Chains A and B, each alone.
Chain A
Amino acid sequence: MKHTTHTASAKFLFLLILQALLLGGCAAHSPAVHKPVASTAQEETIAPQEAISPEEDEGVFDLEDEFEAADVEPPVDPLSGYNRVMTQVNDKLYFWLLKPVSQGYSFVVPEGGRLAVGRFFNNLLMPVRFVNNLLQLKLKRAGTELARFGINTTVGVLGFGDPAAKSFDLQAYPEDFGQTLGHYGVGGGFHIVLPLLGPSNLRDTLGLIPDYYLDPVSYINDSKTELAVRAYRQVNHTSLHIGEYESLKKDAIDLYTFLRDGYEQRRIKQIEE
C-alpha cells in the first residue's frame, strides 16, 4: 500500500516537474532545487554577437523572439500607389473639412450632449454587434448586446444614456462582419485605403456590405436625409476624438505604412478576442 502511494506521488511529481520544465515558469525563484532549468530558461541568455552591451542587456534579445515571430514579410500591397494617395486625401479631408466642422460643432454643443448623441447612435448599431456575435457563436456576448439594447432604449431613454454599463456593468462587444469572416479563417487580403473611412483591407471592405444592411440608418427612405444623418454621426464622433489622429500621426515615420501596419495588427487582435 505504502509502495503504491509512493509511486503515485512520484509519478505526480514527475508530471509536475515536467510541466515546470515545459513552462519554464517558476524556474528562477528556486535556484537551489533546479538550477539547470534556471540557467536555460531564465538567466544568462547571452547574445553571442554582442560585445557592446552593458550588463543590463541580459535577455533583451531573448525578448526579441516575440517580435520576430510577429515580423511579417512586407505584405503584398498591389494598391500601394493608390493607397498612399488616398491616405493623403483622407489626411487633407480630416484637417480641412472634418476637423474644423467638428470643432465648430463642439463649440456649440457641450461635451455631455455630444457624448449622449454618441451613445444614441451606438445603441442604434446594436444589430451589427448582435448579429456578428451570433454568427461567431459568441452567444453570451450576443445576449449581453440584447440586454444592453433593452435597458438602454428604455431606462436609458432611447439610448442617450448607458445605464447598462453604469449600473449593470454590461459592456458592449463590438464586432463587425470583417471580424466574423476573420473568425472563420478568412485572411485580410490586400490593404485598401477607403475614401473617408480610412485603412481597410479586402475582407473588411466586403464586410461593410452586410454591416450596411444591419445599420438602421441605411433604412432611412430619403437618401439626402440618410447622408445627412451619416455625416452628423461622423462629425459627432470626430468631435469627441479630436487630437487622437494628430497624436498618432506623430508616431509615424512613414504615415501610410504606419497606418497600414497598425490597422492590420489591431484587426488581428480584435479577431482573436
Chain B
Amino acid sequence: MRNIFFTVLCVLLFAASVQADEADEVQVMLKGKIDAVMVLLQDKAVDKSRRNEQITAILMPLFDYHAMSRLSLGKKHWPTLSQEKQEEFSDLFIKRLQKSYLDKLDIFTDEKILYEEPVIAGKKIHVPTILVSKGSRIEMLYKFYRSRKGWKIYDVEIGGVSVIQTYRSQFDGVLSEGSIDDLLEKLKTDGVFVIPAPEVAEARSGTD
C-alpha cells in the first residue's frame, strides 16, 4: 500500500518538474529562433524583402497562426463564416500579423533582448522578454499553449497589451456594424485606417 503511495508521489513530483523543464525548453527554443532573427535584423546590408522572407521562415513554426485567426474573431464570429471566408480572413490576417510583428522587432531591437524566467500559467507557458531600445525597455510576452504539434504561440503581449485581444475588439467592432466583406476589405487596405468622423477643420493650433 505504502509503495503505491510513494509511486504516485514520485510520479506527481516528476510531473511537476517535467513541466518546469518544459517551460525552460520552450524558452530555449524561442531564444534560439529570436537570436537567429536578430542576426538577420542587424545585418542592414541584406535586401529587406529577402531578409523578411528569411525571418518569416524562421518564425513560422513558432506561431499557431490558425489559432490566432480563430481567437481574433472568437466564438462569436468565427463559426458563422463559411470555410472560404475563414480561409480568406486567415490569409489576410496572418500576413498582417507577420508584418506588424517584424515591424515591431525592427523598431524596438536596436540593442538586445533580455529573457526572464518563463512562467507556467495553468496549462500555458508564458515567456517574458524585454526589448532594450534607446534607453527604454519594452516588455514583450510570448504566450504558448500545447497544440497537437507541440508548444505554439497563440498570443503576444507588447507592453501589457495583448495583440489578439486588440484585434478581437476591433474586429468585433467592425463586424457588429458591417459584414465580413467589410472586414476583409479593411484588412486588404494595408496600413490605411479610417476614422469615421466628420472632417475636422485643419488643426491650426499654436506651437508648443
Contacts and interface: CB of A to CB of B under 8 A. Distances in A.
Interface of A: 6, 9-10, 13, 16-17, 20, 23-30, 32-33, 41-42, 47, 49-50, 52, 55-61, 63-64, 67-68, 70-71, 74, 81, 84-85, 87-89, 92-93, 96-97, 111, 115, 118-119, 162, 171, 195-196, 227, 230-231, 234, 240-241, 243-244, 247, 249-258, 261-262, 265-266, 268-270
A3 to B, nearest CB: 11
B168 interface: yes
B148 A55 contact: yes
Contacts of A41: 123
A88 B2 contact: no
Interface stretch (B30-38, B44-52, B69-77): B69-77
Nearest to A74: B173
Nearest to A234: B208
Contact of A71 (B104, B149, B169): B169
B180 interface: no
Given A84-B196, A247-B103, 10 more contacts: A6-B1, A20-B15, A25-B15, A29-B19, A57-B67, A57-B70, A115-B135, A250-B99, A253-B183, A265-B161
Contacts of A115: 134-135
B94 interface: no
B126 to A, nearest CB: 11
Contacts of B147: 56, 58-59
B42 interface: no
B193 A255 contact: yes
A254 B74 contact: no
A139 B1 CA distance: 52
A33 B8 contact: yes
Given A10-B5, A266-B159, A29 B170 contact: no
B39 interface: no
Contacts of A56: 64, 66-67, 147-149
B71 A266 contact: no
Contacts of A49: 75, 79
B203 A24 contact: no
B18 A29 contact: yes
A52 B15 contact: no
Nearest to A2: B2
Q: Chain A's interface: helix, strand, loop or mixed, by majority?
A: helix
B9 interface: yes
A57 B148 CA distance: 8
Q: Chain B's interface: helix, strand, loop or mixed, by majority?
A: helix
B20 to A, nearest CB: 10
Contacts of B196: 84, 254
B129 to A, nearest CB: 15
Nearest to B163: A251
A71 B19 CA distance: 29
A25 B83 CA distance: 35
Nearest to A32: B11
B174 interface: yes
A249 B191 CA distance: 7
Contacts of B103: 247, 250
Contact of A262 (B67, B79, B136, B166): B166
A28 B12 CA distance: 11
| Nearest 8 pairs of A and B residues by beta carbon | A269-B160, A26-B15, A84-B197, A250-B191, A29-B15, A253-B170, A89-B203, A92-B203
A254 B12 contact: no
6 contacts: A50-B79, A63-B145, A240-B134, A241-B136, A253-B167, A269-B160
A243 B103 CA distance: 9
A195 to B, nearest CB: 7
